[in-house]
Amino acid sequence: MAIIRKKLSDLHVSEERVAEIANMPDEDIDYSDIPELDEAWFAKAELRMPVTKEQVTLRLDVDILRFFKAQGKGYQTRINAVLRAYVDAMKKGEA
């Protein structure tokens, strides 16, 4: 339940709405917009393991760090995404 509360709070859902959702009986949940996962779906499915991350110490220019931090939570993830885009672009240039 703590994970659900965290995810909903990230979406700026009020505490009252979080409590309402948490206390909703399963039979009141509308699943009609979720397609059935049949044998054909599982036949095409592939297992993808999450990419591991490594903790590092990195020195950044103060203005760069302030820029990313000013965008709010998840600034390290955004920095990683920018670096990922650069690496992917560089790899494409090598091909």
* pLDDT tens for each residue of 27-55: 998 889 998 889 999 999 998 888 889 99
Q: Which residue has the tokens 């090598």?
A: 94
Is 5 a residue whose pLDDT tops 70? no
Instruction: Give exposure, 81-95, as e/b (b: 16+ Cβ within 10 Å).
Output: eeeeeeeeeeeeeee
Tell me what the mean pLDDT of segment 50-73 comes to: 94
Mean pLDDT in residue range 49-74: 94
Long-range contacts of 87-92 (CB under 8 A, 24+ apart): none
Structure tokens at 73: 């939570």
Task: Determine the pLDDT at residue 39.
Answer: 93
Residue 84 predicted with pLDDT over 80? yes
pTM assigned to the model: 0.50
Handedness of CA 69, 74, 78, 83 (dihedral sign): positive
Residue 2: the pLDDT is 57
State mean pLDDT over 5-16.
71
